[in-house]
Amino acid sequence: MADDTVARAKGPLVWLDMDQKALDDAYDQTIWASNMGLVQRRREAAAVAAYARLSPRRMSYGQTQIEGFDFYSCGRPDAPILCFIHGGGWRSGASRDFAHLAEPYLDAGAHVAILDFVSIDAVHGELPDVVDQVRRAVAHLHRHAADFDGDPAKIFIAGHSSGGHLSGCIVTTDWTQYGLPSRILAGAVLMSGMYDLEPVRRSKRSLYVRFTDENVQALSAIHHLDKLHCPLILAYGSEESPEFQRQSCAFYEAVQAAGKPAELVVLDGTNHFEMLESLANPYGFVGRAALAQVRQTGR
């Protein structure tokens, strides 16, 4: 008779010590956050109130309707710009869903731009299309910063979850391919992201993302640290899946090994969805670190 303490028989290993079910579970954060619904309701209520109170300007960075961002002005000239890239599995989310993140940074004297970008479902699973769109958005912010009283030398990036992955791609972009200097970013906060897509490719996320050898290599930030030219804050919560924690730790170690500046922030007792609450809180561990970065006077 099988030991009742063993929940199930383990299948063939597909990544590290994980079989297929374990890997699929590792990239499904809903399994690791029993209070997800409550956290999301808090976020929704805060975002609705902040959006109504702050009344952002809608600005465009491309030709299609989705290629736009909500711009929150701090009312100061030559101010830093914090650009936020939301998560949602590359599939869901909208700029106005994260309006509440803006307020602490406005109070600190920074403008905030919260991006919209195409859902991966709308581009038939082509992740390079999503990444290119976000890169074009950041390039637009740099080119036009002065048009909305921003300082193009002080553009900061923040991203969470799949937005953390996209932010990793942003900070390791060869900006000369977009007609810009190689160094256009002043810093970045990457929360709970995926910086090596190989294990993601082997998970059930491949059901809706068309991974190939080429795009896994091209869109894994850990392979392009030669193009990283700004200091990073990497953050994750102790209640996220161990694999998500490993992604942040491995990326941090790789950045350090490359001789680039990085800080690792670990939030004890915090799950994947609660991480955003720390970014939105000027007294949270991530919020404090992000505000210190944005308040810097130079690169």
Q: Is residue 3 predicted with pLDDT exceeding 90?
A: no
Q: Is residue 4 predicted with pLDDT exceeding 70?
A: no
Query: What are the structural domains, with CATH classification, of the chain?
Result: 13-231+240-294 (3.40.50.1820)
DSSP category for residue 285:
H
- Rounded to the nearest integer, the mean pLDDT of the chain is 96
Outline where DSSP puts E strands in the chain: 13-15, 18-19, 57-60, 68-72, 79-85, 111-115, 150-160, 187-191, 232-237, 262-267
Q: pLDDT band at 268, cuts 50/70/90? A: very high
Q: What is the pLDDT of residue 296?
A: 82
What residue type is 201 in one-letter code? Answer: R
**Residue for token digits 């930030």?**
221
Cα 204 from Cα 47, distance rounded (Å) = 30
How is residue 249 written in tokens?
A: 């730790």
Q: How far, in whole angstroms, is CA 52 from its chain's centroid? A: 24
Q: What are phi and psi of 202, to 5 degrees?
A: -85, -5
Q: What is the pLDDT of residue 9?
A: 81
Q: What is the pLDDT of residue 224?
A: 99
Q: Is residue 298 predicted with pLDDT exceeding 90?
A: no
Most distant CA pair in the chain, distance: 73
Q: Which of 5-9, 39-43, 63-67, 90-94 has the lowest mean pLDDT?
A: 5-9
Q: What is the mean pLDDT of residues 205-213?
A: 99
Q: What is the pLDDT of residue 140?
A: 99
Q: What is the mean pLDDT of residues 224-236?
A: 99
**Residue for token digits 């953390």?**
164
User: Which DSSP helix (H) or strand (E) runs through 217?
Assistant: helix 213-218
Q: Is residue 83 predicted with pLDDT exceeding 70?
A: yes
Cα 282 from Cα 104, distance rounded (Å) = 6
The per-residue DSSP string of 236-276 comes to EETTS-HHHHHHHHHHHHHHHHTT--EEEEEETT--TTTHH
Condensed to tens digits (0 to 9), the pLDDT of residues 84-139 reads 999 999 999 999 999 999 999 999 999 999 999 999 999 999 999 999 999 999 99
Q: What is the mean pLDDT of residues 52-75?
A: 98
Burial (Cβ within 10 Å: 0-12, 13-18, ≥19) of residue 177: exposed
Q: What is the pLDDT of residue 2?
A: 39
Q: pLDDT band at 7, cuts 50/70/90? A: low
Side-chain-facing half-sphere of 290: CA atoms under 13 Å: 39
Q: What is the mean pLDDT of residues 198-223?
A: 99
Q: What is the pLDDT of residue 299?
A: 40
